Amino acid sequence: MDRTINLKLELSGEDKETLRQTMVLSNQVFDEIALYGFEHQTHSKVSIHHETYYPTREKHPELPCSLLQGIRDVACDALKGVELKRLPKSKPYSAIRYNKRVCNISLIKKRVTLSSIKGRVKASFPIPKYYEKYLLWELRTSTLSYNKQRNTFYLNVTIHKQSPETIGDKVLGIDRGIVNIAVTSSNKFFNGKPIKNVRAKYAHLRAKLQNKGTHSAKRLLRKISRKEERFVTNVNHCISKEIVAMPFDVFAIEDLTSIRVQSRTKGIEFTRKLNNWSFYQLEQFLRYKAETIGKSVISIDPRYTSQKCSACGHIYRGNRRGNSFHCVKCGFQIHADLNAARNIAEIGKSGLGRLTVTQPYMTCDEVEACKGTEIEHSHKAPPIGRGSLQVNT
């Protein structure tokens, strides 16, 4: 498993200036290499290396060659990321990547040596208590970032540890939804009412603001959606925390792509995005928290989980009516979400043989844990793939 820790560097004024200049030059070189790749329509590291390495070394002899290699890799990745459709551009103080060779970190000694245009720069950093468990993890790549307002440098270090191999076989099924955010096969219901109430509170205001369309209305709209986001995030944190603490080893959930909320109008579209985002976030929190304590989360094929009778296995669309499930074959009656959760657990058990733990996961709630320490954190939500929450204005 991978984690990212954020270290605030303590540097002399002179060293800060050196790193600033190194950053500016690195980003200038990034732009030059990206331009070459874009003009020649290639993101191949080998061919870009062949064509740009020596000219760049000649043009900027002060740039350490190992740093140059890192810049080239990042430029190639950036070109690949945009599929060569546009020219990736950096800013003078965009973060720069340091691979292991140019960045010598000792978490135990709390010291780091960084290559720069004026030789090696030494820095120290405090380690908060919360990070102490990471001291013996393997170090991967690091990224140096700079906050101009605070005139402070930060080092984001990716660290790695082998995931625990032994996984038990007690499976809990979890059904996600809107009326109930989560229902577990162990009969626990997490009601969606608190979220629904908060949304209802803002829905009217949002509609009004959307019609207004002025600059301040848009700003207020963004503020509201951030507030809603924070609320949903907190609910997801609480639910996932409670679920992973349950006496089970493996948590089975439906593949997210199965959850679709129909929508036509703008207002409903917003709800749909928020729901997708929220489902995705809950899944990430579950994975992250489960993994930390040596448990795991698996995604299962969602077909028929709501139509199948969890008692006799009979599949029939008419078995489900709203919140209730009534099997036409065996007469079994149960809450529809609970029935689905039990089916999900069943599929999870049968799929245990081919269990894989997907990697890597980004940190997300370490921010919370580090509040009050002197380490700065970027207050970013976990990476949100599809269905990222945006306001329609």
| Binding region for Zn ion (CB under 5 A) | 309, 311-312, 314, 327, 329-330, 332
**Type of residue at 227:** K
Our CB check for Zn ion shows the closer of 137 and 325 to be 325
Distance CA(227)–CA(231), nearest Å, equals 6
How many alpha carbons fall within 13 Å on the CB side of residue 54?
3
* DSSP 8-state symbol, 349: H
Nearer to Zn ion by Cβ, of 277 and 325: the residue is: 325
CB nearer to Zn ion: give 333 or 393: 333
Q: Pick the closer one to Zn ion by CB: 230 or 329.
A: 329
Q: How far is the CB of 174 from Zn ion (least distance, A)?
A: 22
The minimum distance between CB 97 and Zn ion, in angstroms, equals: 57
Distance CA 38, CA 360 (A): 30
d(CA 371, CA 361): 21
Parallel/antiparallel/unpaired status of strands 152-160 and 2-8: antiparallel
Radius of gyration of the chain (CA): 25
Token pair for residue 166? 């032994």
Min CB(308)–Zn ion separation in Å: 9
Q: Where are the alpha helices (DSSP H) in 95-177?
A: none
> Least Å distance between CB 177 and Zn ion?
21
Count of H-run helices and E-run strands, the chain: 8, 15
Q: Which is nearer to Zn ion, 26 or 343 (CB)?
A: 343
With the C-alpha atoms ordered 226, 227, 232, 234, is the resulting torsion angle positive or negative?
A: positive
Residues 219, 227: Cα–Cα separation, whole Å: 13
Report the C-alpha dihedral over residues 76, 80, 82, 83, rounded to 10 degrees: 130
Q: Which is nearer to Zn ion, 124 or 324 (CB)?
A: 324
> Smallest distance from the beta carbon of 328 to Zn ion, in angstroms?
8
Single-letter amino acid code for the residue at 15: D
Q: Are 345 and 96 in contact (CB under 8 A)?
A: no
Output 121 or 327, the one with its CB closest to Zn ion. Answer: 327
Q: How far apart (Å, rounded) are the C-alpha atoms in residues 63 and 86?
A: 26
CB of 194 to Zn ion, least distance (A): 33
Q: Judged by CB, which is closer to Zn ion: 54, or 316?
A: 316
Kindly state the smallest distance separating residue 306's Cβ from Zn ion, in Å: 14
Burial of 292 (0-12, 13-18, 19+ CB in 10 A): middle
Smallest distance, Zn ion to C-beta of residue 248, A? 25
